[in-house]
Structures are given as C-alpha cells and as structure tokens.
C-alpha cells in the first residue's frame, strides 16, 4: 500500500495513546484526519485542538463525508475495538483499506533506520529517553511513543525522517509488523496471557520479533533473558554495564562500561533501578546512531520523564504525590523499590486500580504479594478496558489475598475522602485504567496544583 496516494485517514479508537500518535503524524504530513472514540479525554481534546474531527458515538452517520471514498481513505483500527462495531463493519463491507495500528507503523518506518523497543515493561520510558538523546545529539528522527514525554509534551515527535523510534508492542503480536535496524528487549515477564495462552508462547513471539531485525542490524537484551544479543545490566558484567551507582541529592551518579571503554560520572534523575536500566538501554541503542557517546551520556541528565511513569505531582518536604502507570506485579515491585530508595521511613498510602479481569485472574497471587509490601492500600474496582467480567474475579477477591494491615476496597467517588482519612506523607496512585483522570482532581483537592 502506498501511503502517498491516501488523502484521508480515519481512526477507530483514535484516543488510544498509540493511535493518537499516528493521528498526529498523518495530520502533520498534511492528510485529512478524523476518528471515533468511546469517551472524550485530554488526549482526544488535544487532537481536536489540532483540527482533527473526533466524534464519540458509534454511528455510521458521524463518519465525515471525506472519509467515505474507499479509493482515498485509509482506515486504522485498534484491536481493542470489537469487530461488531458499526463503523468498522461499514468500512469492512465497502472495500476500504483497513489496517491495524501496528501495520501502519510498520509501513511508515520500513524505509527509515528504525529503533524498536520491545518488552513487557519499560518500553515507553526507554523509547522516550532514546528520543530525548537523539534530539540532544541533533539527529533527524520521528518518534511514536506510548506515553506523553515530558521533554516533548507529546507522544509524537518529528525532527526529521532519517531515523524512527517506536515501541514494539507484544499485545496482539503487533511487533511482528516491524522491521527494525536496532531492537531492544527489556523484559519478557508473563503478560497478555489472554492472547498467548502461556509464557512459552509469549517467549516464542519475542524470538520471532528478533528475527524481524534487518540484515546487519543489532539486538540489545537485558542480561539474563533467553535471547542472543548484546547485553545490558547493572554490575553484572554486561556488554553495556552500569557500575558504581551512588545517589547524590536524589540523582543517580554512575559509570557506564561499553564495549569501547568507560564513561565516568554519568548522571540520571529518574528514581528506581528499573529506570536506570531503561536509561542504559536507550543510551546503548543511541550509540548505533553514530553520535558521540560522551554527548549521548551527558544528555541522560536532562531527561525529564514520561507522564504517569513515577511522575512527581507534588514534591515537598511534608508531602509527596507520585502517579505511576504500573499495572503488572513486576511494575508494582519497581515502584516499591524506588519509593524505599528515595522516600524511606515515610507514612505511605497506595491507591491501585487493577487493569483487566484476565490479568487480575492470571496474576492475583503475585498482585497480592506486590501490594502487600506497602503499609496502606486502597483498591479500586477492576478497570475492564476491552473485557467482559469474569465470574469471581473482583477487587474484593484480590483484597482478601493481600497481607496488609490497612487495606480497603473503595468506590472512585470516595477517593478524595479516603485519602484525607489516611493523611499520608507519601501518596502513590497506580494503574493503567482511568485512574490517571483522577490525578488533577487529587492535586486540586489538596491544594497542590502547579
């Protein structure tokens, strides 16, 4: 398919983080862009502000006239949209070119030097750090991010089209549509078992992704993963290795040993060992751009972060509020590690919204163990996303398995009131559902809005 001959692009599920980045791209290159989403969010409002027509009802009549010409319109959809969706059926039955988001991303990036970050955790932060490093090194690149970068205030970055930076998403085997020059695998923990069935099948899919690397390309893997490639890690003798980590005033200071030598006194400001690994992976990938390694290493210090990735909403001596996208036990463990390291001996309250019935069912004991590390936990109801309820799989069930002295399932409507009751020194909100929409309300209610 030749994207140059397409005049109109219609998105079914335009408000998703990956879909909205593609919508921005097509708008940027001069296409007419429109789309549907179920709910109005800050992301869809921003798309509307760019002149993109977004509607919120599943009604064929809402499809703009310009998007009804099958010869000039590309339809992009997300697997989260059910196939019985009336607009999807309208396009399907009239011979339109309909592609998944991942296919379109593959088409856009196939003629570029493509950096692709895969892994069950760390993709968004790693790609955002990589984009930041390439920008600081004046590299002509386009980036499609799975979160809002605080450095670019966007999930889409255009600085040229010689290089591309993308997340290689394992959900629905999307990453098998990409053909990267440099690929990274950060982690391969069990997840999306509703798609894969078991962890062995998930691992096979990651192996298939590594076979998509272009001839002469490079694979970077976190040390210990069952894949062959250049390794990275902390104090473990990896090909790219962080050594001698110290903390100075909330900033990590360390050395990086590479296959070509040692870079001393590198600084990075995002808390958590998982973020140190993300920073190292991004740096190692960036070295394959040919930019000066000392310049790339120095740029790590100025990385601001990604919204909802251990994001400080309030940071004062008497009160800290952190929001994080963590929705898997491994990610919750990473948040706990960062909290203990950066804010020890503080009265801490965690608010967690489980994401997906299937994920809660598959990992309920691991979730209970991860959450039981915290002294106080408020649990919201499970965010269903694309799923129907599973009998017996509830937040009450998870709560019963948690070994926490102060634990409670609450309604979202009572969230502010419950936080006040606990009066924490450190507050953390976690989850991949609509809990992110509560962040501004929490800040405003407590009088800490920026």
**Residue numbers belonging to the annotated binding site for ATP:** 119-125
Neighbours of 152 (CB within 10 A): 18
Q: If we measure between CA atoms, which residue out of 270, 268, 283 comes closest to residue 334?
A: 270
DSSP secondary structure of 347-363: -EEEEE--B-HHHHHHT
3-state helix, strand, coil in the chain (%, to 5): 35, 25, 35
Report d(CA 129, CA 381) in Å as an integer.
33
Question: Are the beta carbons of 233 and 277 closer than 8 angstroms?
Answer: yes
Report d(CA 104, CA 163) in Å as an integer.
16
Query: Which residues make up each annotated binding site?
Result: 119-125
Report d(CA 268, CA 431) in Å as an integer.
25
DSSP secondary structure of 391-414: TT-SHHHHHHH---SEEEE--GGG
Report d(CA 413, CA 30) in Å as an integer.
42
């Amino acid at each position: 398919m030749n994207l140059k001959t397409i005049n109109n692009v219609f998105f079914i599920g335009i408000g998703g983080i990956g879909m909205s980045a593609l919508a921005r791209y097509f708008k940027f290159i001069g296409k007419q862009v429109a789309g549907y989403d179920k709910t109005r969010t800050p992301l869809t409002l921003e798309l509307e502000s760019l002149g993109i027509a977004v509607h919120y009802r599943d009604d064929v009549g809402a499809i703009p006239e310009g998007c009804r010409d099958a010869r000039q319109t590309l339809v992009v959809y997300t697997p989260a949209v059910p196939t019985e969706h009336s607009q999807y059926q309208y396009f399907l039955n009239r011979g339109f070119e309909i592609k998944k988001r991942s296919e379109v991303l593959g088409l856009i990036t196939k003629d570029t030097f493509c950096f692709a970050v895969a892994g069950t955790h760390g993709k968004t932060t790693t790609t955002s750090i990589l984009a930041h490093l390439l920008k600081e090194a004046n590299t002509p690149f386009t980036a499609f991010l799975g979160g809002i970068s605080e450095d670019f205030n966007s999930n889409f970055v255009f600085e040229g089209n010689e290089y591309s930076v993308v997340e290689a998403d394992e959900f629905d085997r999307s990453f098998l549509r990409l053909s990267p020059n440099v690929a990274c695998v950060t982690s391969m923990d069990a997840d999306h078992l509703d798609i894969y069935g078991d962890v062995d099948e998930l691992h096979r899919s990651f192996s298939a992704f590594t076979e998509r690397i272009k001839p002469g390309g490079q694979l970077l893997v976190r040390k210990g993963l069952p894949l062959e490639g250049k390794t990275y890690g902390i104090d473990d003798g990896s090909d790219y290795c962080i050594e001698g980590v110290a903390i100075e005033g909330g900033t990590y200071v360390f050395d990086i040993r590479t296959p070509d030598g040692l870079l001393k006194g590198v600084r990075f400001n995002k808390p958590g060992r998982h973020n140190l690994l993300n920073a190292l992976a991004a740096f190692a990938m960036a070295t394959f751009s040919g930019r000066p390694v000392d310049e790339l290493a120095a740029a790590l210090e100025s990385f601001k972060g990604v919204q909802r990735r251990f994001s400080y909403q309030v940071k004062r001596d008497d009160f800290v509020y952190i929001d994080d996208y963590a929705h898997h036990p491994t990610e919750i463990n990473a948040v706990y590690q960062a909290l203990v390291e950066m804010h020890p001996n503080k009265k801490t309250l965690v608010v967690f919204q489980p994401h997906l019935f299937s994920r809660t069912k598959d990992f309920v004991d691991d979730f209970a163990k991860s959450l039981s590390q915290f002294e106080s936990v408020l649990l919201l109801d499970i965010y269903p996303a694309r799923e129907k309820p599973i009998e017996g799989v509830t937040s009450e069930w998870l709560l019963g398995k948690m070994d926490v002295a102060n634990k409670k399932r609450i309604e979202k409507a009572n969230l502010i009131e419950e936080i006040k009751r606990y009066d924490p020194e450190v507050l953390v909100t976690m989850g991949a559902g609509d809990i992110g929409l509560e962040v501004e309300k929490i800040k405003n209610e407590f009088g800490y809005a920026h």
